[in-house]
Amino acid sequence: MDRKLFYEKDERFSFEAYGVIINCQKLDISKDLAYHVTFSSSRKPIVIARAKFEDTDARWTSIPEGRQKEAEGIGALIEQYLSTND
């Protein structure tokens, strides 16, 4: 098995939001878009993925589940960052 969990260096990026530096590293998990996210504050790291659920459109979720609201907010910030920096 030659796949890596973490992508190469160019798949990492950081940005500032609400006075906190958010560090993102793209993960290679199946066909889903996912990131390992760390913060410059005392907030715990989180893994988030853009997932499609049966009853809804694709949305951001935490892995493992339990930090859903946080995943949705961070996912929206990542999307905003990527849309302005592509």
Q: How many domains does the chain have?
A: 1
Sole residue written with tokens 């988030």: 48
For residue 4, is it within any domain?
no
Q: How far apart are CA 72 and CA 60, in angstroms?
A: 5
Q: How far apart are CA 38 and CA 57, in angstroms?
A: 26
pLDDT for the residue numbered 4: 52
pTM: 0.81
**Residue numbers of the domain that contains 18:** 9-84
Q: How far apart are CA 17 and CA 20, in angstroms?
A: 5
For the chain, what percentages of helix, strand and coil (3-state, to nearest 5) are there? 25, 40, 35
Distance of CA 21 to the CA centre of its chain: 14
pLDDT for the residue numbered 86: 67
Which tens digit of pLDDT belongs to each residue from 24-44?
999 987 777 899 999 999 999
pLDDT for the residue numbered 7: 47
For residue 19, is it within any domain?
yes
